[in-house]
Amino acid sequence: MKKQLFSGCAIGLSAVLLIGCQGTDNIASESSIQAPSKPKQQPADEVAAVLYNQIGYQANMAKLIYLQANNALTVDVVDRNNQQSVISKLTSEAQFWPHAGKNFVELDLTELSQVGEYQIVIDGEVLASFRVANDVYTRATKIIAQGFYFNRASHEISFEYGGKFNRAAGHMDQQVKIHHSAASAHRPEGTVVPSPKGWYDAGDYNKYTVNSAISMYTMLRAYLKHPSFFQQLKLNIPEQFNSTADILDELFWQLDWFLTMQDPNDGGVYHKVTTLNFSGKIMPEAGLEPRYMIAKSIGASLDFAATTAYFARHLQDIDAERAKLCAQAAEQAYKWAKANPDKIYVQPDDVKTGAYVVTGDDYSDEWFWAAAELALTFDAKDYWQDLTQLQAIEMSVPTWSDVQGLGWISLAEEANAQQWQYKAQQKLKALAEHMSIMANQSAIKVSLGVFDDDFVWGSNGNMANHIMVLDAAKAYVADPASLNRLIATNLDYIFGTNPTGYSFVSGLGSQTPMHLHHRVSEADDVLDPVPGLVAGGPHAGQQDQCDYPSKFPALSYVDDWCSYATNETAINWNAPLLYAVASVASEE
């Protein structure tokens, strides 16, 4: 286990300052940068920023807007069309948010349920405009889901399906070489194997087993929670006219690649398919460097086993052939891990791409997740016994490096979880209620920052995973409305109710990332970045040494290619965001 376990637009009276920087890819460890201890105070009556959801507020959900100010303010809400005041009210008193070093006042407009466009006005000055609608998140879900299609490897995106984001195919991966770290008697160094399809993992063009596992689990779980919604959600992809839900077609593109990562000779799973170094700012078709299968590892094998067991269990009535392949793959991968418990991934000296490994990891969370999924799928005594040996593991918000929460969620929801189900439900309930209680004490009513390691690399992914936990826990708490309210405010944060002034998803909002650390977006001739991709988000690590506007974690973000630490994209952040928006859109 790695992490701590559970035991806005800057507009109005001051302009937005966008700070650029230059740099190169460099994987570094999380650094510790201390924030100043005191906030910078603005004049008492000045509104330095308005934090609001830039894509809109769902009519039947909470609507909280925040103003950066030191005193309570009287605010008018005006109908944008007829300029009539619809609400005039006093905000809350100011509350300090330590993650930003700023004071904020709250304007609660939950009572405003009439669909329309509105303005925030103070002393006759319009500070922001927002909308209330009934379909805010359906459109967002479609755009975010389409983002996975734009990240396909081994695939041409024609104008018909990509519009101005059309591009040639790249990385066909039919001739991937076995790296010396992955060599075996059956597959010696230099052996050529196919590993096509899949998604590009992040801003680079490589494909990683560990990061794919949690992403795939999360996407399939989103579909299983809301099958009717996703069956009706039409994406602009080549498979759109078949009988399979489009989101599953997209997921199967990844699954077909994922299965190639297993050595059929012994069941072990390779850590990644990659070039030896990160490529430059090039389009996929220009990436002609050799690609390699890198070492087998227990991290990759256990995550693979858990994911394929989950797919085997839930695809039986959707795609029996893929379900069978997944069942066989899961047991073989787990068997390999049991036989090779010391095969921890070590980055080879000649490989400089993402490692997806945590120093000192004991892999107990991966063992737990794998044992849970195999026990639920195969109901075999050995798997339940393995799980029992790990029963002391606590529940936490899932991340790629901390996956026991996925096992607990599955155990909570599966009828054949035996005595584990109630225990899992109680753990999930306790975690969600703790998040809700602590978020209510936050100056901007979000759960990000509840845990010490929330504001780290990929903080927006953490926020999206918070929402998945809250959504999963609603069935087990006495007050699900409180969790729905927190889900709404957490989504608001991602789409603009944060002190950076950004909606963090490309193409969704009035001020969105334009310079993502994403090679296609940077290398194509299109001004806009590929839409539907969430930036990693603010944190104080600043590993890329770019020019950041602040050392406070909630302000330490810059929209620049340089900032791979805060402005890169990744499938394991987009997948929980897809889950999050779909959980709300399915009820629109």
Residue numbers annotated as active site: 517, 559, 568
Residue 4's SS3 state is coil
Residues with Cβ within 8 Å of residue 144, at least 6 apart in sequence: 505, 508, 532, 534, 574, 577, 578, 581
The tokens for 263 are 């050595």
Coil, strand, or helix at residue 410?
helix
Helix H or strand E segment including 68: strand 64-68
Amino acid identity at 44? A
Which two tokens mark 3? 């992490």
d(CA 347, CA 325): 29
Instruction: Give the contacts of 160 (CB within 8 A, at least 6 positions apart).
Output: none
Strands 102-108, 57-58: pairing kind: unpaired
* CB-CB contact of 516 with 529 (8 Å): yes
3-state secondary structure of 117: strand
Q: Are 213 and 573 in contact (CB under 8 A)?
A: no
Q: How far is CA 446 from CA 6, 87, 91, 587, in A?
A: 17, 24, 18, 22
Between strands 125-133 and 57-58, the pairing is: parallel
Residues 6+ positions from 395 with CB-CB distance below 8 Å: 5, 6, 404, 405, 408, 424, 427, 428, 430, 431
Q: Are 527 and 450 in contact (CB under 8 A)?
A: no
Question: In terms of Cα–Cα distance, which of 456, 27, 577 is closest to 274?
Answer: 27
Counting Cβ atoms within 10 Å, is residue 394 exposed (0-12), middle (13-18) or buried (19+)? middle
Q: Are 47 and 74 in contact (CB under 8 A)?
A: no
Residue 461: name the closest of 524, 398, 510 by CA: 398
Paired tokens of 133: 């609608």
DSSP string computed for 125-159: EEEEEEEEES-HHHHHHHHHHHHHHHTBSS--B-H
**If we measure between CA atoms, which residue out of 64, 3, 98 comes closest to residue 454?**
3
Q: Which residue has the tokens 């209510």?
A: 440
Q: Between β-strands 74-79 and 85-90, what pairing exists: parallel, antiparallel or unpaired?
A: antiparallel
Distances (CA, A) of 381 to 67, 243, 335, 375: 57, 37, 15, 8
The C-alpha torsion from 190 through 193 and 194 to 199, rounded to 10°, is -60
